[in-house]
Structure 1
């Protein structure tokens, strides 16, 4: 996932994402089949969680399930909700079920399934700082790891924490 500069130094992935929530998970799924583009996404939580602690039993999605991670952009993607249902042996049950919507719990299972398929996702790693280093950014994690990149995507979640280098403070 890294390239090298003319002097042999590692340049890192083309893109680093901080925070793995549905938007960055979808971005990762769309980048995954692109061999010319490398990415790495970091999340401080140990696993993907969607509305962690707020999942009500029997609650249904408020949007059509085809507004998943990838279908509006790439309906043939292996990361689609329909592919998830097919791989889990639940596609026909879902199609013929007499219910008014897709359960939110099932959609969270879909998100976790997709996250498990993407090696560019790193869970359990807190990003503590982003620095501008010449023409690239360096992303520093709590263990002392440093990843260089030229592009950064922030997935801030419900309580955003925007690094001071971005806000200018």
Structure 2
């Protein structure tokens, strides 16, 4: 069995499951996944905990259907995280996540099942808040919202549905 628990009260001799489904049957695959994520959480360069969406902007390109959207995320420790979505005519949109203030051309979506993937897929809200696009022109706000939905679809469901 794998247990996901915390200490109960002030006693370190007792533990409490973090959710009703926090006791799982052990499998080699689940064991490997938990170990990989635990190592990532403890790493000095672990991605921050995502707490929400800050501001966003969309800049149309020179050609119809071309443009770039940037969505700045909020984090528990105020470290920068942003999503970039690039649209080009006749191509599928591309997106990437950046963990610094500089968006590198080599930035890419996080691998599915990685800590960063979980932090995005499990924490991002289902819709972009109105305040995030309040300063944009209406047409740019519509595109930014569409781009955000594109990222959510690309991430896919969190797959974690804790029962409290």
Higher share in strand? 2
Larger Rg: 2
The TM-score with structure 2 as length reference comes to: 0.30
Flag the structure with more relative contact order, 1 or 2, with Cα contacts below 8 A and sequence separation at least 6.
Answer: 1
The TM-score with structure 1 as length reference comes to: 0.30
